[in-house]
């Protein structure tokens, strides 16, 4: 009997389509992928949209620890242990389309398909480097620099010639959680950035590459009238960003 050759693995097709052990899911903004404490039985591959990962302390305080975008994996801790529980929660920021991959199928394809395991390992390494950079940022940078860095990361700068980018709608509370400060300080810094021409805001936040000046220089001069406002003094739309 002639043994048939195994079909070549198509990584793009695997990540784009439903199949054995995987299915396409669509989430509306704010809809959860999973909650903290749920059974960690699957990994999601984000095909479209933006998502956030949050943790809740025993005291009930919530903090946003990551913002994810197209091409990222969500809930990768599911492969760490059998019958493990989610240590964090994940939810959609914008409308999302994702491939839900069951834990068994995830482990199988990692072992059998090098293209997939290379992709997943690359994601894990980048995620690890990002977490380390976040820790250094928290330890050594002021909250203004931390906010500038988060906005630039969300804008995904890096394309040659790119000068500005629109970021997903996000609340001041979430930004404050991510940089470890208060909502009033975020309001103050956003007001400064806008007056200095680093960002624009109408219906969405548009980030200019000039915002890099906040990170590259130890001191950014205030605009002449950039006195710290209370939240109530800001336009209503700037109070929420959403």
Question: What CATH fold (topology level) applies to the domain 142-240?
Answer: Arc Repressor Mutant, subunit A (1.10.10)
The residue to which tokens 């000068």 are assigned: 163
Q: What does DSSP say about strands 62-68 and 51-56: parallel, antiparallel, or unpaired?
A: antiparallel
Residues of the chain scoring pLDDT < 70: 1-5, 81-82, 157-164, 217-242
Q: Which of 17, 66, 21, 19 is nearest to 43 (CA)?
A: 21
For residue 1, how many C-alpha atoms fall within 13 Å in the half-sphere facing its CB? 3
Per-residue pLDDT of 121-171, as tens digits, reads 999 999 899 888 888 887 788 889 899 988 888 887 645 445 558 887 788
Task: Read off the DSSP letter of residue 85.
Answer: B
Q: Who contacts 54 (Cβ-Cβ below 8 Å, separation ≥6)?
A: 36, 62, 63, 64, 65, 88, 89, 90, 91, 177
Task: Read off the DSSP letter of residue 234.
Answer: S
Q: What is the pLDDT of residue 49?
A: 93
Backbone φ/ψ region at 163: left (φ over 0), alpha (ψ -120 to 50), beta = alpha
Q: What does DSSP say about strands 205-208 and 164-166: parallel, antiparallel, or unpaired?
A: antiparallel
Q: What is the pLDDT of residue 141?
A: 84
Instruction: Residue 100: count other Cβ atoms within 10 Å of its Cβ.
Output: 20
Task: List 33's β-bridge partners, or say none.
Answer: none
**What are φ and ψ of residue 125, in 5° steps?**
-65, -45
DSSP three-state, residue 99: strand
DSSP string, 149-194: HHHHHHHT--STT--EEEPPP--HHHHHHHHTS-HHHHHHHHHHHH
Per-domain residue ranges for the chain?
11-137, 142-240
Q: Which of 113, 110, 181 is nearest to 141 (CA)?
A: 181
Question: What CATH fold (topology level) applies to the domain 11-137?
Answer: Jelly Rolls (2.60.120)
Q: What is the pLDDT of residue 4?
A: 59
For the whole model, what pTM was predicted?
A: 0.74
Q: How far apart are CA 70 and CA 16, in angstroms?
A: 12
DSSP three-state, residue 201: strand
Q: What is the pLDDT of residue 117?
A: 96
Q: Which two tokens stand for residue 9?
A: 């693995």
DSSP three-state, residue 41: coil
Q: Which of 123, 183, 115, 121 is nearest to 147 (CA)?
A: 183
């Amino acid at each position: 009997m002639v043994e048939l050759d195994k079909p070549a693995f198509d990584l793009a097709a695997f990540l784009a389509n439903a199949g054995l052990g995987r299915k396409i899911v669509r989430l509306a903004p704010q809809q959860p992928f999973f909650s903290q404490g749920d059974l960690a039985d699957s990994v999601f591959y984000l095909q479209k949209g933006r998502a956030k990962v949050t943790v809740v302390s025993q005291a009930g305080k919530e903090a946003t620890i990551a913002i994810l975008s197209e091409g990222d994996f969500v809930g990768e801790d599911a492969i760490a242990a059998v019958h493990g529980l989610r240590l964090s929660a994940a939810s959609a920021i914008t409308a999302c389309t994702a491939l839900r991959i069951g834990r068994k199928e995830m482990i199988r394809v990692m072992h059998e398909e090098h293209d997939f395991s290379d992709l997943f390992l690359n994601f894990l390494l980048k995620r690890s480097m990002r977490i380390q950079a976040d820790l250094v940022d928290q330890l050594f940078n002021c909250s203004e620099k931390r906010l500038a860095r988060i906005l630039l990361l969300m804008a995904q700068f890096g394309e040659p010639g790119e000068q500005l980018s629109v970021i997903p709608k996000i609340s001041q509370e979430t930004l404050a959680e991510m940089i470890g400060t208060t909502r009033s300080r975020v309001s103050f810094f956003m007001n400064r950035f806008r007056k200095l021409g680093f960002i624009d805001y109408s219906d969405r936040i548009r980030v200019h590459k000039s915002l890099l000046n906040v990170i590259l220089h130890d001191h950014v001069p205030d605009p002449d009238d950039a006195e710290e406002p209370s939240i109530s003094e800001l336009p209503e739309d700037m109070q929420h960003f959403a």
